[in-house]
Amino acid sequence: MLPTIKPRDILLIRSGAKIGKGDLVVVYFQAIGLIVKRVKQLDLETIVLVGDNSRLGSSACGVAIDKRVVIGKVIAGITVPFKLKWFWNEKSLDT
């Protein structure tokens, strides 16, 4: 998720949070593990993800996947050396 999230960033995740278009989410794929991507579109059962770096592709992007793979919504991140980044606004915390 470069340039938004860098290696060694620490992310604060809210599981069960309402997810909307443009949100950063953590998803779990059994074949590759945990990844962070941005929500491109969603409906009641599926979600389509996109990365922030257009130069790098991902097999997790551009296809509809089951929303049950979403672990949570990224609401904040800490970059070493300790720069706090917020990824939400007050309305986006409504569940």
Each residue's pLDDT tens digit, 43-65: 999 999 999 988 887 889 999 99
pLDDT of residue 45: 97
For residues 93 and 62, give the distance between their C-alpha atoms in angstroms, rounded to a whole number. Answer: 26
| Cα–chain center distance at 21 | 11
pLDDT of residue 84: 80
pLDDT of residue 52: 92
Each residue's pLDDT tens digit, 15-45: 999 999 999 999 999 999 999 999 999 999 9
Global model pTM greater than 0.85:
no
